Amino acid sequence: MGGKVYFVASPELVNAMIKSRSLSFDPVLRSTIAKLFTISKEGVRKYVDPSIGLETRWTKNFYGCLNGVQLKEINKAVLTDVFRQLDELPDEVNVDDSWLWLRDKLSFASTAAMLGRDNPFCAHPSLVDDYWYVDNKLVHFALGPAPWMTAPSAWMARNRIHHALIQYTKEKKHDADDVSALWKGSYDLLHEFGFSESDIAAFLQATLQAALFNTIPTFNWYFVHIWSDPSLVFRLREEVSGVVAESLELRGDGKREMTMNMAKIEERCPLLVAAFHENLRTVAEGAFNRVVMEDTIISNGKGGQEYLLKKGNNLMASQSIIHVSEEHWGSQAGGFDPTRFSKDTGVPGESESHIKPGTYVPFGGGKHLCPGRHFASMEIWGMMIALLLSFDITDAEGRTLTVPERTMPTMTSGIGRPVAGTDLRLKLSRRKDWNNITWKVDMA
């Protein structure tokens, strides 16, 4: 991006950075998608040209389709698929690699919810492996002048996904009834502006990247943080039972139907929500960037030090510094403690209003606040509740899980992965009275 780079670390300056209308992530995003995905120069030109207006409508489509009724529809779709996968598990499950197991469950559910069940990832599961292989190598695309030479396997894997999405749209599978409004709206918008089939597929590939790359690692660490603490598991099971109701009648197949009311989670499951936020605080370690669009002054607050940021330069803040600062989070800032996200009354998760602005920013903020945060959180909460109530989970030897060491995130991801070579074996056993059930989701 060129120019100087300003770096801020105080919560007051981070908060000012987020709120400023003259500091923008858009130039960073434009530059990034052009490098990471196979979008033609003409496609990039159309997207960024303000006289065409596509970028504004693209953003509006994203935010619009991840709110209200359409958000409920895609959340219901993803959880319906998650629950289907969990219902189909045997009473005893031995997992060789918990990261891969959870990764694949959520990847298939997310792609089905977005693209419909008749999608290339469900038809060809190796494409999920391709996606995550590319995700791990994206830094070569972001920085390298010749990723086809420095990361040839990732280059070919990215192309396989791209070609599969071209074929998907050629066969009009995006018109199916179970395809999300987000996916249909994105396709229709690009088609309206005359984009080629190749560029449409590349933009849809970018949309998929946004949906998966941090959501699934977030769930992985949420999972191990919770299951490494038996007392937390016990308390959560009691709490989440308040959003689950059993049908009075048996289904035709003899199974008991358990309905999860997602609309009541934030009201009735404060500890589950608090643990979610604490998990993000501990694992979200990325940096977020803004470009100074015009000379801008930010300050440390009323009467505080002021700083002049010159147009054309870049401003960065690091979550890894903000989220584990002992000054703001206490001497045990590096530990996992859901009660941090509790009111002074000690009731977990009732409100995060006491958290100082600028000290907790996993979703960015301001005009660039992550549009998919509600989609991700509902998916994560729903799967966690189903696992908590349905299974006892231990390591391969029957012991309580331990939290594995985490890699540092790359510049293209905000959350690390389990360190290679770690023993991630799991054993899942259905709990007594939960071995003949089927899950249903209620978004009302």
Residue 283 CA to its chain's centroid (Å): 12
Residues with Cβ within 8 Å of 176's Cβ and at least 6 positions away in sequence, in order, are 116, 118
Q: Is 370 annotated as a binding residue?
A: yes
The continuous run of DSSP H or E covering 189 comes out as helix 181-192
Nearest Cα to 54, choosing from 21, 30, 70? 30
| Cβ atoms 348, 341 nearer than 8 A | yes
Distance CA 105, CA 209 (A): 16
Distance CA 356, CA 7 (A): 20
| Cβ atoms 440, 259 nearer than 8 A | yes
Distance CA 176, CA 307 (A): 53
Distance CA 37, CA 44 (A): 11
Distance CA 77, CA 83 (A): 10
Terminal-residue alpha carbon distance, the chain? 45
Strand pairing of 256-261 and 244-246?
A: antiparallel
Tokens representing residue 280 in the block: 């993000």
Distance CA 86, CA 94 (A): 14
Instruction: Tell me the β-bridge partners of 297.
Output: 308
* Residue type present at position 321: I
**Residue numbers belonging to the annotated binding site:** 370
**Residue numbers belonging to the annotated binding site for heme:** 370
